[in-house]
Chain A
Amino acid sequence: MKRQTLRVLLASEYPEARYFLKELVEDEAGVVVVGQAENAGKALTLAQNLRPDIAIIDCYLPYRTGPALMALSRLAGLDTAQVISREIPNTRVMLLPNLDEKVPSEPGLSSEGIAFFSRKTNGSALPFTLREIYRETLTPGTVVFAHVETKEQHVLRQKIANLSDKAILFGGLGIVGGLCLMLTVILAGAGVFLTLTGGVLALLGLVGHGLAHSGRKTPALKNREQESQADQLKIPSAARLGNQSR
């Protein structure tokens, strides 16, 4: 089955930015740029006439490129994107807030192979293709907020992410090791405490034993005590006998 060709409209004030975007867009198989606009008015007219599948719009789009003396607003990117997405529901609209930072300053420098579109979710940039955006079901009025990323930047971000993963891993290992060490120290401390307590108790036992020994009566003393008890018992019985004879 033949794949449908995606028709794209580009809108940016600067020719070098449009050139950069055209290279980037047509780098994807089956995607063709059908129109280019340098201001919001032209972008709206082209969108209404051409009905593109995707419109890619620079955030800093002027309403109209007028005489240099007239101070015109260059903030029409989101407004244009909102109008197109609301009025031409079949067109997917992508807004690029960072295009001004990504277009190479050297004229004629191609974006081919060095740049791609991405969406930022939870701090990480997820690359996507225009066909993926086209397949998404979007409600009318929805604008896709995307970024242009360059490969070096992506590689750098990946490296940072990998480094942070490693840092998390080693940090975790460090924490576990620290906890183990703490546990060992605590147990060692408990062991020392128990040993000391045992020693003190043994010492007390020895002292007690010693005292018990010193307080124990000898057999000779026992005999003497028994004899004196017997004498005490004998004296009252003799006195009783004497009273009876009287």
Chain B
Amino acid sequence: MKVTQALKECTVFASMSEEELEKVASSVLEKQYEPGATILQEGDSAEEFLVLQEGKAVVQITLPEMPGEMSRRVTVDIVSRNEVVGWSALVEPYLYTFSVVGLQKVTVLSISGTKLRWLIRDNLKIGYEVMCGLIKVIASRLDETRRVLISERLIMPKTE
């Protein structure tokens, strides 16, 4: 499938014109990951903004070590086709706040964070569209994290 067509199907880029999509598409790379592979690592420098094309991946946060409990990861979202991960590439301090692990064989469109930021800076309309889409993504992830906190922190029994 054409890259611009694939981007058009993603919420963040859905309202962009063909010309604007061409500009974004010029900095896109296609990447593949095996099941279980870490696609993005929490705390790493956020250099890529990813749009999933195939497969499923989980978004996880690391719970800090508590007395009598080891540090571990908690899933806050499961993402699939046309969903985005790596929004930290557009928001300061440009560090990933989540880890992303492939559940299946995953194909992503990787957009360079730096190039996307330049594009947004030079083209305010694109910037507005991207940020509107991004707010939806962040809001949904925040909601899912809230559910996890309710479920996990209050209910899940501690393991030895």
Contacts and interface: CB of A to CB of B under 8 A. Distances in A.
B104 A75 contact: no
Contacts of B70: 86
A64 B151 contact: yes
A76 B78 CA distance: 10
Given A73-B144, A145-B35, A83 B72 contact: yes
Contacts of A73: 75-76, 144, 147-148, 150-152
A44 B157 contact: yes
A72 B144 CA distance: 9
A72 B60 contact: no
A120 B105 contact: yes
Interface string B47-89: 0000000001010100000000010111111100000000000
A89 interface: no
B150 A79 contact: no
Contacts of B74: 79
A160 to B, nearest CB: 16
A77 B75 contact: yes
A6 B16 CA distance: 55
A235 to B, nearest CB: 98
A48 interface: yes
A59 B103 CA distance: 9
A70 B150 contact: yes
A143 B58 CA distance: 14
Interface in A60-112: 60, 62-64, 66, 70-73, 75-79, 82-83, 86-87, 95, 97-98
A22 interface: no
Given A75-B76, A75-B148, 18 more contacts: A41-B155, A45-B157, A59-B103, A63-B151, A63-B156, A71-B147, A72-B150, A73-B150, A75-B144, A78-B73, A79-B73, A79-B74, A86-B72, A97-B103, A98-B104, A120-B35, A123-B105, A145-B104
Interface of B: 35-36, 56, 58, 60, 70, 72-78, 101-105, 144, 147-148, 150-152, 155-157, 159-160
Interface of A: 40-41, 44-45, 48, 59-60, 62-64, 66, 70-73, 75-79, 82-83, 86-87, 95, 97-98, 119-120, 123, 143, 145, 147
22 contacts: A41-B156, A48-B159, A60-B78, A66-B151, A72-B151, A73-B144, A73-B150, A73-B152, A75-B75, A75-B78, A75-B148, A76-B75, A77-B75, A78-B73, A78-B101, A79-B73, A82-B72, A82-B73, A83-B72, A83-B159, A87-B160, A143-B36
